[in-house]
């Protein structure tokens, strides 16, 4: 029986096609295709042993060992998992690393049980290459950058736009020393795949927040980062009290809720306090000992007041952190951009910048 295949077409990703990744869990954890579920042919230890057999004795010995390890009740359990998923997602497509032996074995076993599904030609590797290539293509699209001082709700603005690209959301990190999420960060490959999937849905102008190339644990792909460096800017300007309120909600209340939801009330609270304390400590070299100690005292007092219901107390350490550290750093960044001739499209309050971003997007779309 000829086992069917499909090409490594980006339409599979664009359309959110269900995918069955039959690689081992350790491979899946290092980066999967968007929309994939991991239902492996072999678990990690089985794959390790088969790999050793392949290196020492050749392909036939490795296949024989694989058939021995995945047989009987083990094979039936994995077959049941594949069939169950295909019952719920009958249009799903199968893939392994290169679209080779493992996905063919899964196809063959399923076909023998009366279920025929295609595999992706070239597998994970071929489709990943196309996803990365699309990021390079998207870097040529019109691009607008949303900048502004810390606390100006730039991410919120980007997410209000139909053509916004939330890099921080894909990175699961808010882009500063205080931006870590309680959720585990994605690996670099998964970040790139999420970005590429979003870009596949946006063939026109793009709006992105002003970011460093590194966001948490991941890096913006070089081609896209290069386009960001030279793109025109929006600059959001909001007063300090507005920004402090935004930060209190975003970096304190929302963070507390996320930690408590994930770890429970007590452990979540302790983890949140530890994260904010460690974030402040990581700025020691730039703040200097005296300023760090002052902010640490204010932060500790704020934690105590917070437990008693006064979350406004965090402004006592957030305000000097903004005015003495983040604001001067951003103004230096802004001056460097101006010296480099980076164009500024618009500067104003949050609402005017949202309107300007929409107008820019409309103008770019009309001009195409």
202: phi then psi, degrees, rounded to nearest 5: -130, 85
The first and second tokens of residue 126, run together, are 């071929």
Q: How far apart are CA 273 and CA 300, in angstroms?
A: 9
235 neighbors 346 (Cβ within 8 angstroms): yes
Helices (H), 161-288: 167-171, 188-200, 222-230, 240-247, 254-263, 265-281, 284-287
Active site residues: 96
The residue with tokens 């690689």 is: 23
Q: How far apart are CA 211 and CA 155, in angstroms?
A: 11
Q: How far apart are CA 149 and CA 236, in angstroms?
A: 7
Rg (CA), the chain: 25
Q: How far apart are CA 348 and CA 354, in angstroms?
A: 10
The strand pair at 214-215 and 218-219 is best described as antiparallel
The residue with tokens 């058939």 is: 67
Q: At what angle do helices 59-69 and 44-57 cross, to 10 degrees?
A: 150
CA distances from 315 to 88, 178, 215, 318 (A): 50, 15, 25, 5
100 neighbors 23 (Cβ within 8 angstroms): no
């Amino acid at each position: 029986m000829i086992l069917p295949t499909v090409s490594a077409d980006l339409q599979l990703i664009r359309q959110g096609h269900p995918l069955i990744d039959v690689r081992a869990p350790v491979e899946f954890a290092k980066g999967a295709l968007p929309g994939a579920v991991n239902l492996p042919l072999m678990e990690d230890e089985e794959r390790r042993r088969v790999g050793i057999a392949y290196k020492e004795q050749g392909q036939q010995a490795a296949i024989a060992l694989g058939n021995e390890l995945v047989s009987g009740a083990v094979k039936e359990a994995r077959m049941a998992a594949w069939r169950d998923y295909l019952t719920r997602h009958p249009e799903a497509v199968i893939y392994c690393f290169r679209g080779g032996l493992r996905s063919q074995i899964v196809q063959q076993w399923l076909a023998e049980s009366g279920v025929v599904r295609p595999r992706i030609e070239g597998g994970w590797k071929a489709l990943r290459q196309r996803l990365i290539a699309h990021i390079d293509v998207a870097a040529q699209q019109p691009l607008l950058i949303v900048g502004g001082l810390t606390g100006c709700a730039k991410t919120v603005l980007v997410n209000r736009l139909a053509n916004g690209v939330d890099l921080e959301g894909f990175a699961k990190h808010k882009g500063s020393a205080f931006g870590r999420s309680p959720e585990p960060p994605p690996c670099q490959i998964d970040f790139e795949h999420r970005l590429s999937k979003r870009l596949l849905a946006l063939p026109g102008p793009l709006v992105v927040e002003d970011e460093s190339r590194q966001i948490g644990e991941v890096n913006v792909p070089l081609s896209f980062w290069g386009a960001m460096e030279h793109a025109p800017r929006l600059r959001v300007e909001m007063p300090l009290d507005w920004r402090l309120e935004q930060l209190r909600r975003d970096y304190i209340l929302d963070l507390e809720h996320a930690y408590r939801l994930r770890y429970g009330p007590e452990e979540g609270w302790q983890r949140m306090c530890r994260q904010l304390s460690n974030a402040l400590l990581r700025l020691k070299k730039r703040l200097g000992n005296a300023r760090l100690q002052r902010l640490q005292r204010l932060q500790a007092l704020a934690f105590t007041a917070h437990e008693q219901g006064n979350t406004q107390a965090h402004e006592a350490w957030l305000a000097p952190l903004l005015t003495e550290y983040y604001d001067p750093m951003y103004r230096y960044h802004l001056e460097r951009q101006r010296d480099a001739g980076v164009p500024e499209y618009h500067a104003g309050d949050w609402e005017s910048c949202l309107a300007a971003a929409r107008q820019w997007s409309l103008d770019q779309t009309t001009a195409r």
